[in-house]
Amino acid sequence: MHTAASRLYRLRPATPEDLPFQELLYGGSRQDELDAARFPAEMRASFLAMQFHAQTTHYLQYYPAADWLIIECGDVHAGRLILDRAKDHLHVMDILLLPEFRGRGIGSDVLRGVIAEASARTVPVRLFAAPRERAIELYRRLGFQEKQGDNVHIELEWRPTP
């Protein structure tokens, strides 16, 4: 199925040259959290670099077969998708878009593609979100249900219809 959003972007494998963009994207995704915590501006860059490195190292160590994909609109980097294809489920480890690309249906369309793959394989899709993350409403609209959660993360799951 091709939607208007799917014609706006493409997914391509990430390369080492994409690391600076991915770090910028990651840092942008944490700004609201750092603002709420009143994190000092002069410490943000080093903190975000350290956190990005820790996340990247963790993902590479524990999910070595995951696909790291860059979402591009034309020739412009718009976001990323990190997707692990386990035997019994698909794990959306991260999906991020730059603010100027949000609200265009791109994230929905990317996730619909993951759901279509999971449906064809008859496996669930799992992801984690922060409790106050705006994208939770998107996940729910796409059929994800809350599995479990705490004050830090909520696990959401989409299940194929039997």
Cβ 139 vs Cβ 129: under 8 Å: yes
pLDDT at residue number 3? 55
Q: In this predicted model, what pLDDT tens digit does every residue of 92-125 receive, in sequence order?
A: 999 999 999 999 999 999 999 999 999 999 999 9
User: Global pTM?
Assistant: 0.89
Third-level CATH fold of 5-158: Aminopeptidase (3.40.630)
* Element spanning 139, H or E: helix 135-141
**φ and ψ at 161, to 5 degrees?**
-75, 130
Contact yes or no for 144/156 (Cβ under 8 A): yes
34 pLDDT more than 70? no
> Among candidates 91, 147, 146, which has minimal Cα distance to 124?
91
